[in-house]
């Protein structure tokens, strides 16, 4: 699977996961209201069944797009306080110093 498909699957997985959790939240609220106000059971029963179907569909789609979770989005953070050129110069100086030490050791022998 290409990286583009995986990123699309990850986006879809996140969206359906959101819908599943939101549906479960609504379902719990409607069930609580139905228990508290027993006289509204006739009105809330179809709504509860619709929400149950909605949640089941959202959970099925999260299962379908779960392969998008394997995509690791690595973020590279560049510290702006460090000057890249200065770091390169430091590395070059260290290399030159190490080479100088190595040549001195060879000359001693």
Q: Is the pLDDT of residue 75 over 60?
A: no
What is the pLDDT, as a whole number, of residue 18?
Answer: 95
Question: How high is the pLDDT of residue 28?
Answer: 96
Contact 69, 20 (CB under 8 A): no
The per-residue pLDDT for 21 is 95
CB-CB contact of 18 with 65 (8 Å) = no
Per-chain mean pLDDT for the chain? 85
SS3 74: coil
**CA angle (19, 22, 23) in 5-degree steps:** 85
Find tokens 């394997």 and name the residue. 70
CA distance 103 to 93: 15
Banded pLDDT at 89 (limits 50, 70, 90): confident
């Amino acid at each position: 699977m290409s990286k583009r498909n995986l990123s699309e699957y990850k986006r879809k997985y996140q969206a359906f996961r959101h819908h599943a959790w939101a549906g479960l939240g609504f379902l719990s609220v409607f069930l609580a209201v139905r228990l508290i106000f027993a006289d509204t059971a006739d009105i809330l029963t179809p709504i509860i069944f619709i929400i149950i179907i909605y949640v089941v569909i959202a959970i099925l789609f999260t299962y379908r797009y779960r392969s998008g979770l394997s995509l690791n989005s690595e973020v590279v953070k560049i510290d702006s306080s460090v000057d890249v050129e200065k770091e390169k110069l430091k590395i070059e100086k260290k290399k030159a110093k190490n080479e100088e030490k190595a040549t001195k050791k060879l000359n001693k022998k």
